[in-house]
A and B are shown apart, each in its own frame.
Chain A
Amino acid sequence: MEQVIVNSLILGMNYALIALGLTLIFAIMNVLNFAHGQMYVLGGFITYYALQVLHLPFVVGLVASVVVLVLVGLLSERLLFRRAIRVSTREESTMLLAAGLALLLESLILLFFGEKQRGMPPIISGVYQVFGVYIPAGRAFVFAIALASLIGFVTFMQFTRPGRALRAIAQDKEVTALQGVNINRYGALGFGLGAGLTGLAGSLLATIFAVNSGLGTAVSIKAFIMVMLGGAGVVSGAIAGAFVLGFLESFGYAYMPGSVTYMLIFAGMIIFLVFRPQGIMGKPWG
């Protein structure tokens, strides 16, 4: 029982990074990033490649994952989404563009890294024992980094100038533009940051669970669940949704077969959203 709670916390902390990335991109650009899961997988594979093929230290792999994903985010905003938002008459087209990007990333990952499931040994070996609960040191390490990044991100959003600009854009794009904020530049920043966060999560979780090229859609769907449960476009909601999913998943997997767990999660979520469509923290919309 205690073991399951600890697992849920570790899982929830990393899920929070994924959900925050998705919710940030959604809030800033009004784009539902279908490629989010594939970005996560890419982050995982880069870390795997750096560690297992090039035999570099973990820090290098982690930084490489984040840097590459930030670049992918910046490039896709600049080359794809900015134009699509401008030329299209309907908002759905950015969603399909993101789905196209997801397919593209997935086939590129498949070409470069192959279709095999790739795992790696834990970063730190050893096990801590706290109050009779066993915590592998590798997982504790991942938890610590995820927690630090989460605190760093929230601090950035709350107390810095760019963070304030991003929050303002999320509230009202046009009024923010009137105040002299460069919407395009901050849109790119938001996209890069969101992609970087999910790359970070991919890099960290790849050391616990293995990655494979087909994982992307499942991760995207998990990210959607978290964002919907918490409330789309709300930072606190993304974190809440992530921990709720982390707990549900860990407890479900501990006591039930995997497919039943997710079916129940889906069913529960649909019923929950019927009664509270804006999620836990979200604001009601018209």
Chain B
Amino acid sequence: MSSVAKGTRRGVGAPNRAVSIRIVLGVFLIVYLIVLPSYFAESRYILRVITTASVLSFISLGVWLTFTIGRINIGQGAFALIGGYATAILSTKFGVSFWVCLPLSGLIAGLTGIIFGLGILRLKGVYFAMITLSLTEAVRLGFLSGGDFTGGAPGISNIPLPDELGLFGITLIPDFGKVDTHIAFYYLAAVLLILGLAVIWRISSSRLGWIFKSLQQDEELSRSVGINVARYRVMAYAICCFYGGIGGAFFTVSQQSIYPSVFGVLDSLFFILYCFLGGLAFVAGPIVGAFLLFILFELLHEFQQYQQLIYSLLMISIMLWLPNGLLSLRLPAAFWRSRNIRD
């Protein structure tokens, strides 16, 4: 019955809804790209918080994609670390430009993801969760005991800032050392996030996205209709790892250093939490979750030693009272509206 009501509502209101979504999106973009950076241009702390939240959202988008194939991925920290070290090693030891390092880090993380994924994606449910969690630890320990190549516990420092990127003598992106670094990183993060969201949104609304969703519901059934299950789940995992690698490379360059405990088990868990808080059913879920939780965490900074306590209580409350995410809150409203129409 409700599906009938929904159908009529969509039939009548579809153009209106599309327009209003476009307006909301436009307002968001203007605020995000113009209002926020110009308003907070002087307060570097706030800019840095938004920048970090953007890249955390970007990394969580990858985790969200593995959720669509029905896997709980607690290994994203490992791939952020791999991407970070790739950038660090390439730029300090081989002098490669950041603009080459960035995509290369993503590719290296993605390739590693394919190699690991071929094996571990055979596991499901909690088992996959546990093994990816172990992977986070294993990769961290690997970098810790990597000797001179990875720099051991103190890691690698003095990583150069992004240099100028030009084409035929025209400067496309200025040298980060010569402009306001905070603003430059803010825009780099913003562009990454917008591109990342666009790609994930495109994937999830295409045929590929529906294949991923079918894997989540029943792998056997998907296989029986001719979907190459092993290939598609590795593909989803590799995209996720690519996002992790790019995010890790960003943090490495913006901090200008990397060490093995930058990304740990807790970070991997937080990426999942961001997705959950926003709501797993929505592409924008991880972004909403990451911004809210990360900014909240920074606000709790005043409480010093009680910061983690309050944060953990919030986390528990979310899981108890909002188990399906913040964006699911509008569902009851839609339900009431559809009932009114029927009346």
User: Could you tell me if B319 and A96 are in contact, using CB atoms closer than 8 angstroms?
Assistant: yes
- Answer whether residue A186 sits at the interface, using C-beta atoms and an 8 A cutoff: no
Contact of B134 (CB < 8 Å), options: A95, A97, A221? A221
Q: Check B12 for interface membership: any CB of A closer than 8 A.
A: no
B198 contacts the other chain (Cβ, under 8 Å)? Answer: no
The segment out of A130-138, A141-149, A159-167, A225-233 that lies at the interface is A225-233
Interface assignment of B130: CB less than 8 Å from any CB of chain A: yes
What's the nearest-Cβ distance from chain A to residue B266, in Å?
Answer: 7
Partner of B308, one of A103, A263, A267, A286: A103
A283 at the interface (CB under 8 A from B): no
Supply 8 further A-B pairs (C-beta < 8 A) apart from A97-B316, A100-B315, A107-B306: A80-B320, A93-B319, A111-B305, A224-B134, A259-B144, A263-B138, A263-B145, A266-B134
Closest Cβ of chain B: how far from A68's Cβ, in Å? 19
In the complex, the answer to whether A100 meets B145 with C-beta atoms within 8 Å is no
B119 within 8 A of A: yes
What 0/1 pattern do residues 308 to 327 of B give for CB contact below 8 A with A?
Answer: 11011101101110011000
A180 to B309, CA, bound (A): 40
> Is B122's CB within 8 Å of the partner chain A?
yes
Chain A residue numbers with a CB within 8 Å of B125 are: 91
Closest Cβ of chain A to B99, distance in Å, is: 32
**Stretch binding the partner chain, chosen from A46-54, A118-126, A196-204, A268-276:** A268-276
A84 within 8 A of B: yes
Q: Complex formed: what's the CA distance from A96 to B126 in Å?
A: 12
B319 close to A228 (CB less than 8 A): no
**Is B135 an interface residue when CB atoms closer than 8 A count as contact?**
yes
In the complex, what's the smallest C-beta–C-beta distance from B224 to chain A, in angstroms? 14
Query: Do the beta carbons of B130 and A92 come within 8 Å of each other?
Result: no
Residues of A within 8 A of B309 (CB): 104, 107-108, 111
Whole-angstrom CA separation of A196 from B126 in the bound complex: 23
Is there an interface contact between B130 and A96, defined as CB atoms closer than 8 Å?
Answer: no
B residues adjacent to A (C-beta < 8 A): 72, 116, 119-120, 122-127, 129-131, 133-135, 137-138, 141-142, 144-145, 220, 264-266, 269, 272-273, 276, 280, 305-306, 308-309, 311-313, 315-316, 318-320, 323-324
Q: Looking at chain A's contact residues, is the secondary structure mostly helix, strand, loop, or mixed? A: helix
For residue B276, which residues in chain A have a CB less than 8 angstroms away from its CB? 92-93, 96
Name the residue of chain A whose CB is nearest to the CB of B321: A87
- Nearest to A267 among chain B residues (CB) is B138
Chain A residues in contact with chain B, CB under 8 A?
26, 32, 34, 80, 83-84, 87-97, 99-101, 103-104, 106-108, 110-111, 217, 221, 224-225, 227-228, 232, 257, 259-260, 262-263, 266-267, 269-271, 273-274, 277, 285-286
Nearest-CB residue, chain A, relative to B272: A96
Are B280 and A32 in contact, with the CB atoms below 8 A? Answer: no
Residues of A within 8 A of B72 (CB): 92, 95
Contacts of A103 in B (CB 8 A): 308, 311-312, 315
Q: Which residues of A contact B313 (CB under 8 A)?
A: 104
Q: With contacts A266-B138, A274-B119 known, is A260 near B316, CB below 8 A? A: no
Assess the A221–B126 pair: CB atoms within 8 A. Answer: no
Task: State in angstroms the CA–CA spacing of A32 and B138 once bound together.
Answer: 20
* B119, A95: Cβ atoms closer than 8 Å: no
Q: Which of A88, A110, A270, A274 contacts B323 (CB 8 A)?
A: A88
Let me know if B141 and A266 touch, CB within 8 A. Answer: yes
Asked whether, in the complex, the Cβ of B145 is within 8 Å of the Cβ of A259, the reply is yes
Could you pull out 18 A-B pairs where Cβ atoms are within 8 angstroms? A92-B129, A92-B272, A93-B276, A100-B316, A100-B319, A103-B308, A104-B313, A107-B308, A108-B309, A111-B305, A224-B130, A224-B134, A232-B127, A262-B137, A266-B134, A271-B119, A277-B123, A286-B220
> B301 CB to closest chain A CB, in angstroms?
15
- Cβ of B233 to closest chain A Cβ, rounded Å: 14
Contact assessment for A266 and B135 in the assembled complex, using a CB-CB cutoff below 8 Å: yes
Q: How far is the CA of A271 from the CA of B265 in the complex (A)?
A: 20
Chain A residue contacts of B124, Cβ below 8 A: 285
Contact among B133, B265, B323 for A87, CB-based, below 8 A: B323
Assembly CA distance A286 to B306 (angstroms): 44
Of A80, A90, A224, A285, the contact of B280 (CB 8 Å cutoff): A90
Q: Which chain A residues lie closer than 8 Å to B131 at the CB level?
A: 228, 269-270, 273
A99 in complex: contacting residue of B116, B122, B145, B273, CB < 8 Å: B273
Chain A's closest residue to B319 (CB) is A97
Chain B residues whose CB sits within 8 angstroms of the CB of A93 once the complex forms: 276, 319, 323
Task: Flag if B130 contacts A32 (CB, 8 Å).
Answer: yes
Smallest beta-carbon distance A23→chain B, Å: 12
Q: Is the CB of B134 within 8 A of A269?
A: yes
A119 to B192, CA, bound (A): 48
* CB pair A87 B126 closer than 8 Å: no
**How distant is the Cα of A106 from the Cα of B269 in the complex, in angstroms?**
15
Residue numbers in B under 8 Å from A96 (CB-CB): 269, 272-273, 276, 315, 319
Whole-angstrom distance between the Cβ of B129 and the nearest chain A Cβ: 6
Give every chain A residue within 8 A of B144 (Cβ-Cβ): 259
C-alpha spacing A92/B64, complex, angstroms: 13
With CB as the reference atom, state the residue of chain B lying closest to A76: B316
Q: In the complex the two chains form, what is the Cα distance from A103 to B318 in whole Å?
A: 14
Chain A residues in 8 Å Cβ range of B120: 270, 273-274
